[in-house]
Amino acid sequence: MTQKHNSVPATEEQLPDIAPKGKLTAIFITISHNRILRLLGLQTGKLAVNLIFMVLVAITLALYLWSIASLSFILPWAWLQISGAILFALACPAALIFIKPRRRTFLVITGLVLVITTWQQAIPPTNDHDWQPSVARLPNIAVVGNEVRISNIRNFDYRTETDFTPRYYDRNFKLNELTSLDYILSYWDENKAIAHSIFSFGLKNGDYLAVSVETRLSKKQKQSLLSGIFNQYELIYILADERDILRLRTNFRKEQVYLYRVKINQLLLQKVFVEIIKRAADLQKHPRFYNTLKHNCITTLLADLRRAQGKPYSLDYRFILNGYSDELLFDKGALISGGMPFKQLKEHRHINQYVEKDPNAATDYSKKIRPINSGMQNNIRP
């Protein structure tokens, strides 16, 4: 007598248990029986097609979230930006729930988020805004052989952070008058992982020319990290006197500023300087967006440095969390340390201690932030 067994179909949850063991098999089963694909009407009997649809779902979800934020910036009026972003955020999931077939609705949403993302990315940068006074002028630069002429070097006279007299000057010099490169980090809050990065080039006569890559804000704009991700600000290279760009931070904003002397030879120093000022001059004809993630104060200067050296840098989290980049440069032997360990070096290079309480800090500012015992001697090698 033959015993009969009831045949019960395996459920989706059972399938991984009865399937052949192995990660690859489990992945195939997960793709073939994905609940999201089934819910959206995208599930097919072909594994390759299901995989493509899964990738499409992930991309659409990411662009959906990006589009919500984009609409809050690119629509023309504040009320429309807020209402448009909220309406879009609610309308997409509602459409997937109530409008069938869901596959067609999903593909329409995919097309829509692609259009919004393309629109946001296609908005061009411009030099035609009513700029805030601190970023009103782009530097004009001419390099002819060894001769350099820079116009619109910023040298504001500050009474407070917001009360100042705008001043600019022009300068002619020769590339062989460059003597040093200093790397500066300015921390504006208690977050030690992020800082503003500045380069400062020393000249034979004791003067310094600082380079700060910043957001170029219009009079109607306020800076935020999120806005910077969505191309809301143009980019500017500010070429400035140290008594402007650094004293603003040490004496008025009360930021914590650290200055380090970089080891560099004369040829590379000139290449780095020329690369930076050419990029600064190029903004006159080809404006660029500042981007919090891709084109910020440190990534822009590092890109210039990389082009001058002609070689890439090894990836290190301290380039991203640039508040630790001084430690990275120290570890790589790129800083003059005078034999001091890093902690002691950082204490010596904290320039606030030299000028913050000095009412006459504007006089000989660059000399005061480099006292004799700081080890900031020139280091150029032929």
Burial of 295: CB neighbours in 10 Å, binned 0-12, 13-18, 19+: middle
Report pLDDT digits (tens) over 175-209. 999 999 999 999 999 899 999 999 999 999 999 99
* Same-domain pairing of 202 and 347: yes
Q: Range of 102's domain?
A: 15-122
In residues, how long is the chain?
A: 382
* Same-domain pairing of 228 and 272: yes
**What b/e string do you get for 93-125 counting C-beta neighbours within 10 Å, with b at 16 or more?**
eeebeeeeebeebbbebbebbeebbeebeeeee
* Same-domain pairing of 28 and 163: no
* Same-domain pairing of 185 and 282: yes
* Same-domain pairing of 102 and 250: no
* Same-domain pairing of 160 and 283: yes
* Of 28-37, 282-291, 368-377, highest mean pLDDT: 282-291
Q: What confidence score (pLDDT) does residue 23 get?
A: 60
* Same-domain pairing of 348 and 274: yes
Computed over every residue of the chain, the mean pLDDT equals 88
* Same-domain pairing of 237 and 358: yes
Residue 349 has pLDDT above 90, yes or no: yes
| Spatial distance between the Cα atoms of 136 and 298, rounded to a whole number of angstroms | 22
Centre a 10 Å sphere on the Cβ of residue 339 and count the other Cβ atoms it contains: 8
Residue 239 has pLDDT above 60, yes or no: yes
Domain assignment present for residue 10? The answer is: no
* Same-domain pairing of 147 and 267: yes
Q: Which residue has the tokens 């704009």?
A: 221
* Same-domain pairing of 89 and 173: no
Q: What confidence score (pLDDT) does residue 27 get?
A: 54
Domain assignment present for residue 322? The answer is: yes
Domain assignment present for residue 116? The answer is: yes
